[in-house]
Amino acid sequence: MSGSKARMKAIEAITNQTAPCNVLNFHDQPADEIFGMNVFSTKVLRDRLPKNVFKSLMKTIEDRTGLAPDIADIVATAMKDWAIEKGATHYSHVFYPLTGLTAEKHDSFLVPDGQGGAIADFSGKALIQGEPDASSFPNGGLRETFEARGYTLWDVTSPAYLMENPNGRTLCIPTMFISWTGDALDKKTPVLRSMQALNKQAQRILKLFGNESGAFVASTAGPEQEYFLIDRNFFFARPDLLNAGRTLFGARPPKGQEFADQYFGSIPERVLSFMMDAERELFKLGIPVKTRHNEVAPGQYEIAPIYETANVASDHQQLVMVTLKNVARKHGMECLLHEKPFLGINGSGKHLNWSLGSATAGNLLDPGDTPHANMQFLVFCMAVVRAVHQYGGLLRASVAVASNDHRLGANEAPPAIMSVYLGDQLNDIFEQLKSGGVKSSKKASLIQLGVDTLPVLPKDAGDRNRTSPFAFTGNRFEFRAVGSTQSIAGPLVVINTMVAESLDYIATELEAMVGNNPSKLQASVTKLLSQLAKDHAAIVFNGDNYSEQWHAEAARRGLPNLKTTVDALPELTKKPVVAMFKKYSVLSKEELESRQTIYLENYVMTLKVEANLALKMGRTLIFPAAIRYQSELAKTCADLKAVGIKFDTNTLDRMTSLVKELQTTLESLESVMGAKRDDSALAEARYFRDKVLPGVLAVRKVTDQLEGLVADDLWPLPTYQEMLFIK
Ligand code: ADP
Ligand code: MG
């Protein structure tokens, strides 16, 4: 069924809905009991492994030492027994190919026992390595199909878990995915490599400050996820949402988000019951989701977990996206993760909170009460500032996907210009450093409440700046340019590596300045930080990133402004970038090139699907509705004329010209798509950006005008008003 019938049916179905689906009884099992129940966690490991094996495995997980080969079989057996006791029949190596999805290949635990029966079997070898073949995943030229071997390798540092299905459970083992030559074909492998690089350089700084414990310094990540929820009946009546994840057509609703009456508003019952259900599923997987609230746009929400080690946070983030989608369906809703599902309505992002720390040193970006005296904190902080300045283009490239182009720089998300916001207190220290040395920290003042029932509250030392792409937020940096559909792995790889490079630079300088004389440390750090503050002042911006003035100012400062994905992706293979990734053994030149190719291809494919959809919907849904109405109008005019009544033909004339325009724009989009052109990946991406995307927009412009004119009962697509407000 399609067209207006589908639309009317959708509305009918929603209005007739009686009870929200999937009602849970939370009293049956309290949250603290279900938390982590489906995770092969440290606690389970401790309970089930012989002491020496447990110790050895924990050493690998915590200190990242090599896995002792003889323990794999023991761990595998414990894992299998635990999984089978909990009802699992299959295991799956889960990996993250460069398409952005999560990939799984399931194998049964059962093997024939040779006597007509079967036994459950899972060896250490099967745990450590799998060969999914998976030759159809994009590899950007890294493997030819005749040598298509790809391996999944166990990531010991990310816990295995059980995935539930009404008909059974599957043991999921997080893995890396590499080619037989050892090239990374996935998103996880470089995250692990970059964490290793970051640790190595951070240790050198810690050592200078007298911390020689060697405890692994891990980057930490807390990703906040924004998303939309709409009723599934509407979703099915919108081929664009179904196939492209965003609406290609749709006039602005008479009431949009201008009242901001949705932001942090009370959460509708149906939505809240979905959220509770999703959170419960995530709890079972040991994902510490904490925050939920309404976002700015109608129908938009946010979920945020407590931060975890970057690698685990990244795996968990994927699970959050999958779980939101699955659970929404059970509640008759669709969760839209696209960065810009609705034009003219705020889009969705994923704020990536990032820091680094270790068991002995704590959070290395925690300033304490007197940051000016906390030299170690200032060093780590300055390393981040320097890194963003040196590799701003690369950082921008890490969030470059077609869908995110609709959001960055649209006055709802930071612009494509990377800069750092330090906040009052830190900025003051930065200014002092520029002029030679630091003597004081601005004191956090007290909030004058004017209400006597509360104790006097200390004010945060710095306010927030929501417009900055990379903001210091008290004890971490928040990277706000990540798109809501994206894996956080890519941005993490870039941040970890570029900060490692800065720490390396700083450590090398300080080691030379200090030599064997630790008493020189204080003066050396002050001198170096002063120099760095001067050298990298251009990247610090505390003003309004949305303003026009900033664009001009940033250009004067020489900061790159890579507006689109096509502008940004070439950064991946720039000389300094290739050299850096090579130096820290995170990505080889070939791996970077293959990524660039795949991402450019993804860009083109995304735009191609959208263009084809626009053509199809324009021709088979919009055009028929338009001519039906046109002919109704024409008939009315003729009928009235026949009985001698003069009827104003304005509306008919407008309809006629819009119908004509619709035909022209559709035809030119089709010819743009069919034109012969240069076939390099970059040239093709440029072509799609400059010719195809505007072609789709041109069709949309006409369509959205038609929506305001055509009789409502003929209009085939659920409108913005309906999708955003009918729940
Ligand atoms: P806001 O919306 O004000 O930015 P939220 O509470 O929604 O704040 O999200 C803050 C995020 O920052 C949470 O995911 C939190 O766990 C994370 N975070 C806090 N400390 C760290 C840290 N040291 N490293 C990484 N992330 C952190
Ligand atoms: Mg938030």
Residue type, 640: L
Number of neighbouring beta carbons within 10 Å of residue 619:
15
User: Which of the four pLDDT bands, split at 50, 70 and 90, describes residue 466?
Assistant: confident
Ligand 1 binding pocket includes 475 (Cβ within 6 Å): yes
Residue 70 in tokens? 């003889």
Residue 149 in tokens? 């071997």
* C-alpha 22 – ligand 1 centre gap (Å): 30
> If you average pLDDT over each of 370-379, 402-411, 700-709, which comes out highest?
700-709
Distance separating alpha carbons of residues 292 and 294, to the nearest angstrom: 7
Nearest Cα residue to 333 out of 24, 16, 726, 2: 726
Q: Which atom of ligand 1 is nearest to the CA of 464?
A: 3
Distance of CA 466 to the CA centre of its chain: 18
| Ligand nearest to the CA of residue 478, numbered in listed order | 1
Q: Is 392 exposed, middle or buried (0-12, 13-18, 19+ CB in 10 A)?
A: buried
Ligand 1 binding pocket includes 349 (Cβ within 6 Å): no
Residue 539 in tokens? 């990247």
Residues 6+ positions from 438 with CB-CB distance below 8 Å: 372, 378, 429, 432, 526
Q: Which atom of ligand 1 is nearest to the CA of 223?
A: 14
| Ligand nearest to the CA of residue 312, numbered in listed order | 1
Ligand 1 binding pocket includes 227 (Cβ within 6 Å): no
Question: Region 317-331: what's the mean pLDDT?
Answer: 95
| Ligand nearest to the CA of residue 466, numbered in listed order | 1
- Low-confidence winner among 37-51, 311-325, 426-440 (lowest mean pLDDT): 426-440
Quick one: DSSP state of residue 186? Answer: B
pLDDT at 492 over 80: yes
Residue type, 281: E
Q: Is 107 exposed, middle or buried (0-12, 13-18, 19+ CB in 10 A)?
A: middle
Which residue in the block uniquely carries the two structure tokens 């028929």?
624
Question: Region 401-406: what's the mean pLDDT?
Answer: 96
pLDDT at 355 over 70: yes
pLDDT in tens, 74-109: 999 999 999 999 999 999 999 998 876 788 888 888
Distance of CA 189 to the CA centre of its chain: 17
Distance separating alpha carbons of residues 295 and 260, to the nearest angstrom: 9
DSSP 323-364: HHHHHHHHTTEEEE--S-SSTTS---BEEEEEEEEETTTEET
pTM summary value: 0.94
- The two most distant CA atoms of the chain are separated, in Å, by 106
User: Which of the four pLDDT bands, split at 50, 70 and 90, describes residue 594?
Assistant: very high
Report the SS3 class of residue 543: coil
Please work out, in degrees rounded to the nearest 5, the angle formed at the alpha carbon of residue 473 by the alpha carbons of 471 and 475: 125
Residue 663 in tokens? 């035909």
pLDDT of residue 146: 47
Strands 420-421 and 470-472, by their bridges, are parallel
pLDDT of residue 24: 65
pLDDT of residue 133: 67
pLDDT in tens, 602-613: 999 999 999 999
pLDDT at 156 over 80: yes
Return the higher-pLDDT residue of 2 and 188. 188
Could you tell me where the beta strands, DSSP code E, fall in 87-213? Answer: 88-95, 103-108, 110-112, 118-120, 129-130, 150-154, 161-165, 168-179
Distance separating alpha carbons of residues 446 and 454, to the nearest angstrom: 12
* C-alpha 155 – ligand 2 centre gap (Å): 30
Ligand 1 binding pocket includes 291 (Cβ within 6 Å): yes
Ligand 1 binding pocket includes 224 (Cβ within 6 Å): yes
* C-alpha 666 – ligand 1 centre gap (Å): 46
pLDDT of residue 2: 47
